[in-house]
Structure 1
Amino acid sequence: MSRFLVPVAVLLELVALYLDSSWLSTLSGVLFVLYFLTMLGRLQAYSRYLFLISVLLVGALALAGELGPGELIYAASNVAFYAAFLGSLGMMQCLVRRLEVLQRIHDVLLGGRPALLYPKYALVSCGIASVLSFGVMNLLCGTLADTLRQRGITGASRLRWLRSVLISTLRGFALVPLVAPTSVAVAIITREVPTLSWSGLLPYGMGSAVLLILVGWFLEYKRFRMVSSERKALEHWPAGSGRLALLITVIFVAMAALVQLSGVKVSVAAMLTVPVVTFLYMLWHDRSLPGVARESVDNMLGMSNEMSIFAGSAGLGVALVAVIPADALAGLASGEQGVFLLAACGLLMMPMLSAIGIIPITVLSVQAGLMPQLVAEGVNPLPIAVALVIGFSLAMMLSPFGPAVMLLSRFGQVSRWVVAFGWNGLFVLLSIPLLLIMLWAVFVLAPATG
């Protein structure tokens, strides 16, 4: 019976988002908490302990009077939103078995000049993830694992394919906070500081994204050339290409209609549209409601570890912000150099804490919650906001327990430590100085010489 708590909770949250109903969202959060508590023994160690610590901390603060009913409702609502975020968008994976073009998407992307393969993968991954978020990780990681298995690619060749293709997918996905209005990072920061907007952050995010693509291109160029020598050339577009184009068009049109007619954010529109369109297509294709429903439930349950991490982090972030003193940052930032130093600390803190197991969304929830204190002291929040978005992007690649790295690790059957540090460690170390220099030039040197 407990296996049905997740799909019911996801459905309740989707309805709550459409109706803007806080009590439905709270109920959804409670159902998620009940499910993860009943499944604690089956979750991976990190997922289990993070979620348990979150529940215990929120409960202790509530009993001590530190968290009132309003904060508890907000925490439950956050749990529901972020768990449903993964559960709903992960439905994209169900299309892979039904469309040949998705099964062969890597043959499509690997076409063209070898020198352009890395930026192509990174940009395609970023573009898809801007709307479908974790759906792109499910899609590109899942199809590559199937492709390698079907072709019998093993040993050093398999590891080379995984490192080149999957790491470019992950790095492209990590560009989303820098350029997309649908990013969770942008949503958190702009909610805490209403004077900031996605359009105000975008120029700095695009500059950072260009730097990250150039660093990755430099590191992966030779490896991608070796992968390209083992690819299969396509003589024509795979079967189902037209149908996929139609499905994507339907999803985008439905999302645009939802945004225009109901006023929901683009990320919410994606959460509502993707699972509905996917489910209806599966039903039309299979003509079996019980089979489609069973597959949908199994697909959501397959992401239980990632969903519990997001849910636990959401509750933990609310709890930690509630206990930090209101004047904790008083007097820390003075002048442009002081603001830059504070921004640099915020940027560095994110990947450093992620590397030791505290996932980015938890850190960002606390950091963004402190920003109103700085605004109240007259500090310009833009440099700090840009630094936090950059730090969040880097942390997504360096967090061994983050959902993105865990998904890549699960599909590629590679240790998450190898993915986070072996494949991304040098990339992050090379990128950080360049990004800090960019921030210094934009927010310190430019105003000083202007």
Structure 2
Amino acid sequence: MSAAGRWLLPLAVLLELIAICMSSTQLSAISGVLFIFCFLCVGHSLQTYARTLLLVSLAVVAWFSIRGELGTDRLIKASADAAFYAAFLASLGMMQCLVRRFEVLRRIHDVLLGGRAIWLYPKYALVSCSIASVLSFGMMSLLCGSLSETLRERGISGESRLQWLRSVLISTLRGFALVPLVAPTSVAVAILTRELPQLSWSMLLPYGLAASVVLVVVGWILEQHRFRQVSSERVVLEQWPSGSLQLLGLISIVFAVMAVIVALTDFKVSVAAMMAVPSVTVLYMTWRERSVGVVLKESMTQVSSMNNEMAIFAASAILGVSISSVIPADALSGLATSAGGMWVLAVVGMLSLPLLSAIGVIPITVLSVQAGLLPQLIAEGMDPLLISVALVIGFSLAMMLSPFGPAVMLLSRFGQVPRRVVAFRWNGVFVLIVVPLLLALLALEIIVLPAIL
């Protein structure tokens, strides 16, 4: 990336954080324009998918604007949303700066593979979810990259290597897919709570936990036998690696700062995460390095390294606002008048995410469009909570099934396994089992529970 890009992207992130603190939509829109300018300047270095999605989103905006179907207010919203989602990813990604400073993160697989083999799948899934709640996509780089190093150092190859990859990496991916269901730092939660101010993460959490239990139990049943072979080849640690307690304390401070921000302001948890993560990370790095220049350089490098993911998030936001703006206001009229109709809409919303992701439309793009339609449904009388639950479940499934999604692409690259093998062969049976169970759970939550309560 050019020197200008390395400076401008962090500047755009900082500008968006300031805009959020000031509640300034205009400043946020300016930040969005700066983001787009940066992405266009470094377009040659973006991956094909990110570059194509960005150009398509800008072409759609230009077409609708020329036809007079997008007013100034919607253009400002599109730019502001682009800035918010790009800055959201960049802010959480700052935690990646801590990885190289803690031995426990470099030896994470030796730590996780300890204990009885029967508990390894849920341990990996839940720990992956916990780490991803803070590191976001950095968790996939951490666990996949450290596994590759572990296998190479120990000379594990052939069928044994494939068992390691399938058992460890698939549980890691499924743990990452739990983040939209339970974590306040999920981009899915950020999108939905931004579009629906009456919605909060705490309202979604009980339903997300129920869906998470279904996903973990089914995966546990299917995968636990593979971990028996893997566990026989592990290295048992006599004690926890150095820095473990310090890392735990640092993460606890991040969540404590988030809690204070939420308690003292009107910010949602996702916004609090955007403030807390980079602040605590930069302060810790400054304390360790004793050099503001070193910290500034590393921070800019980290933000710039995420330009592909930020471009995808920003383009998806622009596309979502544009498409939802031109759909007639009465297009969904009358569909939310009964519990049965609500369940049908919830099912369509949930299933469209993994189905479209399977053919290359990543879930954030689909969710951005769906979220833009939610105010129409809410005006028709639909419960915002239950339809949002269906969408976060669909988003979770899509993260596992999208061969073009960042998580599957990272797993494929580190494991040297084709993306479609990861998305469809390794996850196919799992998804076929959990989808009927999740549809039954939605029916219980939308039809049965309201009748009882």
Say whether the fold is shared (TM-score over 0.5). Answer: yes
User: Taking structure 1 as the reference length, what is the TM-score of the superposition?
Assistant: 0.91
Aligned-residue offset at 1:381 = 4.4
1:96-143 deviations in whole A, cap 9, x for unaligned?
222111111221121111111111121122233334433433433343
CA contact (8 A) 2:95 2:134 kept: no
In structure 2, which of residues 388, 399, 404 is the aligned counterpart of residue 385 of structure 1? 388
Q: Secondary structure of 2:315's partner?
A: helix
Structure 2: stretches of 5+ with no match in the other structure = none
What is residue 117 of structure 2 aligned with on the other side?
Answer: 114
What is residue 428 of structure 2 aligned with on the other side?
Answer: 425
In structure 1, which of residues 24, 27, 33 is the aligned counterpart of residue 27 of structure 2? 24
Cα gap change, 1:413 to 1:81, in 2 (>3 Å): farther
CA contact (8 A) 1:306 1:406 kept: no
Cα gap change, 1:20 to 1:155, in 2 (>3 Å): farther
In structure 2, which of residues 354, 358, 362 is the aligned counterpart of residue 355 of structure 1? 358
* Residues 1:250 and 2:253 aligned together: yes
Which whole-Å CA distance do the structure 2 matches of 1:252 and 1:337 have between them? Answer: 39
CA contact (8 A) 2:134 2:185 kept: yes
CA contact (8 A) 1:89 1:134 kept: no
Deviates more, 1:352-361 or 1:125-134: 125-134
What is residue 222 of structure 1 aligned with on the other side?
Answer: 225
Q: Which amino acid aligns with 2:165?
A: L
What is residue 102 of structure 2 aligned with on the other side?
Answer: 99
* Residues 1:188 and 2:191 aligned together: yes
Which whole-Å CA distance do the structure 1 matches of 2:323 and 2:370 have between them? Answer: 10
Deviates more, 1:405-414 or 1:50-59: 405-414
Q: Which amino acid aligns with 1:429?
A: L
What is residue 66 of structure 2 aligned with on the other side?
Answer: 63
Cα gap change, 1:153 to 1:6, in 2 (>3 Å): farther
Which whole-Å CA distance do the structure 2 matches of 1:139 and 1:172 have between them? Answer: 14
In structure 2, which of residues 151, 155, 165 is the aligned counterpart of residue 162 of structure 1? 165
CA contact (8 A) 1:350 1:395 kept: yes
CA contact (8 A) 1:12 1:28 kept: yes
In structure 2, which of residues 271, 274, 299 is the aligned counterpart of residue 271 of structure 1? 274
Deviates more, 1:384-393 or 1:209-218: 384-393
1:3-42 deviations in whole A, cap 9, x for unaligned?
3222222222223233333333222212211121122222
Aligned-residue offset at 1:326 = 0.7
What is residue 375 of structure 1 aligned with on the other side?
Answer: 378
Q: Provide the aligned length of Structure 1 versus Structure 2.
A: 450
Cα gap change, 1:375 to 1:31, in 2 (>3 Å): closer
Which whole-Å CA distance do the structure 1 matches of 2:414 and 2:91 have between them? Answer: 19
Two-structure CA RMSD over aligned residues (Å): 2.5
1:299-335 deviations in whole A, cap 9, x for unaligned?
3333222221111111110111111111111233553
Identity %: 65
User: Taking structure 2 as the reference length, what is the TM-score of the superposition?
Assistant: 0.90
Q: Secondary structure of 1:53's partner?
A: helix
Q: Secondary structure of 2:403's partner?
A: coil
In structure 2, which of residues 239, 244, 250 is the aligned counterpart of residue 241 of structure 1? 244
Counterparts of 1:319-330 in structure 2, within 5 Å, are: 319-330=322-333
CA contact (8 A) 2:319 2:369 kept: no
Cα gap change, 1:5 to 1:194, in 2 (>3 Å): closer
CA contact (8 A) 2:13 2:31 kept: yes
Deviates more, 1:238-247 or 1:286-295: 286-295
1:172-210 deviations in whole A, cap 9, x for unaligned?
221122223443333433444455444443333222111
Which whole-Å CA distance do the structure 2 matches of 1:446 and 1:282 have between them? Answer: 48
Q: Which amino acid aligns with 1:257?
A: V
Which whole-Å CA distance do the structure 2 matches of 1:194 and 1:24 have between them? Answer: 20
Q: Secondary structure of 2:301's partner?
A: helix
Cα gap change, 1:213 to 1:338, in 2 (>3 Å): same
Aligned-residue offset at 1:375 = 2.9
CA contact (8 A) 2:91 2:274 kept: yes
Which whole-Å CA distance do the structure 2 matches of 1:222 and 1:68 have between them? Answer: 57
Q: Which amino acid aligns with 1:58?
A: V
CA contact (8 A) 1:92 1:138 kept: no
Aligned-residue offset at 1:49 = 0.6
Q: Secondary structure of 1:358's partner?
A: coil
Deviates more, 1:67-76 or 1:127-136: 127-136
Which whole-Å CA distance do the structure 2 matches of 1:197 and 1:82 have between them? Answer: 17
Which whole-Å CA distance do the structure 1 matches of 2:392 and 2:41 have between them? Answer: 35
Q: Which amino acid aligns with 1:31?
A: L
Which whole-Å CA distance do the structure 2 matches of 1:191 and 1:94 have between them? Answer: 28
